[in-house]
Chains A and B, each alone.
Chain A
Amino acid sequence: MNLQKVVSGFFFILAMTINFGFFYGDIDNPELHSEYELFVAFVVSLISTVLKIGDKTQLGAVLLATSLVADIQLLSAVIVWTVTEYLSIVDVEAFAAIISLSGGALLANITSVVLYVGETLKSKR
């Protein structure tokens, strides 16, 4: 067993699960979506991006790309939330945008985990 594999696998999957936790619930009901969850999802996503840097294989490149997509989606969600809140224009439309952005990030995270698991299954060691 390889500690590095445990750590990176942990973060890749955590990024997906927390993202799902934030995404789950009615898209227009702010009470069902915790801002703390979004914060943690974003931080974990950043961490998993950094963990993916340095793998120069073809698969490593695709993994990094999915992670970057998740980062950008989550960052957009965070920015939309912050801006609308401070300008006091939080409405259903803005909130739906936040949730759907995180939904996109969730798809990217799922792709990343599927690829990661696939690679692990293929590995002979």
Chain B
Amino acid sequence: MVVTFRALLAGALRDRISLFWSVAVPLLLLLVLGSLFPEPAYRRNLVLGLVAFGSLSFAMSGTGFEVMRQRGRGVYKLLRATPFPVAGFVGLLAGARGLITLVGAMLVAGVGSAVHGIDWTPGGILLALPVLAAGTACFTCLGFVLGNLGDNENQVAMYNNLFLLPQMFGSEMFYSLDGAPGWVAAVRRWLPAGRFIDALRAAAGGDGAALVPSLLVLLAMTVLILGLAAATFRWDPGDRRHLPALRRA
């Protein structure tokens, strides 16, 4: 397990495209948007929004493409011919990508806070950790769904847009939706990224009571999406029927 986890971690760290979108782009946006809109309240929300954007990019989009590539390459099929538990492998893959997502999120949050002068209290940091973990788990599960739906890069890219764009523009990542129509606010409540940002804002403000509802909804969404990921999981692109019923002497 340790060898596999280390290798998956190394592989995820070499996923330059995901790292670009999850760390480099948020850091760039921090500087550009932060300098264009200097209001402290906006900058604070921007930092937290970009943490969500980075997490979504690595955990969801990155995992989606990785799962599709591994399945297409026949890794899952081969894995079934070995004694290694496939569920264990999936857990390790999610863990490795989740760990890097967490580190990336902390990096963006740390740099953003330092650059834009946001003070995190120790309590706020403690509150933010479970939120980051829950968000990472939720987005990673979404990534598995994404990778399960698409058979090739083009399909995953299209599904990725379908999952990513509404969450990017409907979750207050980059701007407030206070003036938006009521239905936009209603939709926002059903977006994992929206709940993640709400919980993160509550944590940053040290408001544990305000954090709990959003965190609970986020966890419930994670369980639902995990179920969806398990239901749509495929061993290989062509065949869904794999029920070995052979006699082993």
Partners in one complex: no
